[in-house]
Structure 1
Amino acid sequence: MKLLAGNSNRTLAGAIADYLDLPLTKAQVRRFADNEVFVTIDENVRGEDVFIIQSTSYPANDNLMELLICIDALKRASGKRITAVVPYFGYARQDRKTGGRTPISAKLVANLITRAGADRVLTMDLHAGQIQGFFDIPTDNLLPTPLLAADIRENYKKTDELMIVSPDVGGVVRARALAKRLDADLAIVDKRRSGPGQSEVMNIIGDVQGRRCILFDDIADSAGTLCNAAEALMANGAADVAAYVTHGVLSGAAYDRIGKSVLTELVVTDSIEQPEQSLDTCGKVRLVSCAPLIGEAIRRIANEESVSKLFD
């Protein structure tokens, strides 16, 4: 088995390599003067089971091209099986036509990865589960629920005080799974989206009076939805509000918005590499490593074992 890392999240790739006790494959993933991507694999990969670790986070297009070119390089180097390990799958929010003459970009990206030569895809907490069906190759969608539930149990000893809150109706299934695992109650925020990155809270479905609320979502981009939902929960009598999110996109003024919000903390996995300076300045964002989860899934795939048993 070989592990190859792109440039999107070298820290996570190193942590996965440490978990598997396997060195990262020597390779050069660099740019020409005009910013074209160039890849050289410096080790023999002929007949090997190769896993490429590359999130397609910001800059999404550059990181996606790195992934595609790495796949092509490995294919031409006679790798036996190539698995694209994409902890954060970019373009996942464009999973359907939202209006006339709009693309389904998630399907396009799935086609690109498949046609580039990937034999398998391993990702985590897809924004929409049906994206698995966009691929014509085996695709494993890892669930972060056990990982985040363990962190909640460690930091919130009295789980009977907890209320798991979905920040919108679309995330109810995800929030319910976490609430069930923690044996906690569930509440829902009814919001209206007036435009991309803009939302307004209308109602809170559920009694949050005196409860310690945890907002649970898959992606935090501008963090506007989380901050507005936290304010609405506090206005409805919540004791305090924290947020757990799988993918911390955190673009634009997100860190500043979180720092000024009523949130006690925002916990995100390291599926997307976060700038150290922003973490230190904000002080409210905490990372939970998903390396053991992804590393164990890679080990099971390489050994032809069940991945779904990770979530039993």
Structure 2
Amino acid sequence: MLRAATAAVGVAAVGAIGGGTAFAAGTASPRRSFSSVGTPLNTFHDASGRVTVSVFSHYGNPPQSHWTDKTTLVGDGEMIAIGGGATATDGNPGALLTASYPTDDLSGWTVGSKEHLQGHPHTLASYVIGLKIAGLSRAQLLRSVYVSRADSGTAPHPEAEAGIPSSNDYVLVGGGFRVDWHGAGNLATASFPSTEFSWKARSKDHGQSDPANIRAYAIALRRDLPVGRVLSSVTRADSGQTAHPAAVASVTPGYALTGGGGDVHWRGAGNLLWRLEPATSQTPSFAAASKDHLWSDPSSITAYALGIRVV
């Protein structure tokens, strides 16, 4: 049974999982935080012209074995963070994602990744999607957003699902996850809109036992705003079955990108997320990719893109 907690952003901050110390296989790895203002990559608008979103990025260097709590801040003071993602590496052996979630105050997006069982220091590209709506101040927009969260409890293959408070009053615009791993590692396999009203996240230990908690985040926006009514859209794209599956979901025309995710359909040893990436070009889309790691397990993946428009 899911253990859930919710909070309206404008009323009470939504906290992340508590700190503590994370450990790699056999080596202590203290939790370290990084925060940087993102570089703008692109800007998109909805059909009304009222909704503006921009994707900001930051590339973490030099390479590290583990990236924990790496936050990219929105590079526009009028925007709030509404979505984001990260790209590690599918090289040999590769590095996998452990976190992709909003900051408490929606000023940025926090991500994490790690090598697993074999060394692979890597750079980590992190992304945040900023949102502003003409006719609303940043404070008004912030008060119109609701972030809910749900914890799985500790398990080898944890799963959690967070829902929005009311389908009549809110629309789902994005979501994320954070794995609270402490031993060899527990790695993401899914972060996606499971319904129009909820966000699901999954992870697994891999090759070495490390039960962990996963926290799912669902981000919702009020359906009725002073400037108009918000419509939402969810699109998906499916890959074929392969060792390193990848898919890109395009946003519905007329809608502005607000978030995205991926769901790996693995059945054997496991196939793990290494990329959850909002559009880096002028095409509004969201990319998801995964890989088997050390043990063969060809799988498929579904990528999701979420968008909104005001009417």
TM over 0.5: no
Query: Which structure's CA Rg is the greater one?
Result: 1
Superposition TM-score, scaled by structure 1 size: 0.26
More strand by share: 2
TM-score normalised to structure 2 length? 0.26
